[in-house]
Amino acid sequence: MSKIRSYYANVKSELSKVIFPIKEQIRSAYLSVFIVVTVITLFLALIDGIMALSLSSIIN
């Protein structure tokens, strides 16, 4: 039983060291991820369109 108490005491002390992000940090991280994913999506769509056009011109 003392191992369980020791475990929970250690967990509590470690959680007190954690610094949770504030709302502005979460918002800026979300915005950064959204922008990067959007840019990558547009780039891949462009490459896909170019490859589709080139393949269709080769086939026809």
| Tens of pLDDT, residues 1-57 | 889 999 999 999 999 999 999 999 999 999 999 999 999 999 999 999 999 999 999
Q: What are the start-end ranges of the H helices in 1-60?
A: 2-15, 23-59
Q: Which residue has the tokens 């470690």?
A: 14
* pLDDT of the residue at 43: 98
Note the pLDDT of residue 1.
Answer: 87
Contact 19/26 with Cβ under 8 angstroms? no
Tell me how far apart the 2 most distant CA atoms of the chain are, in Å. 77
Domain boundaries, the chain: 1-59
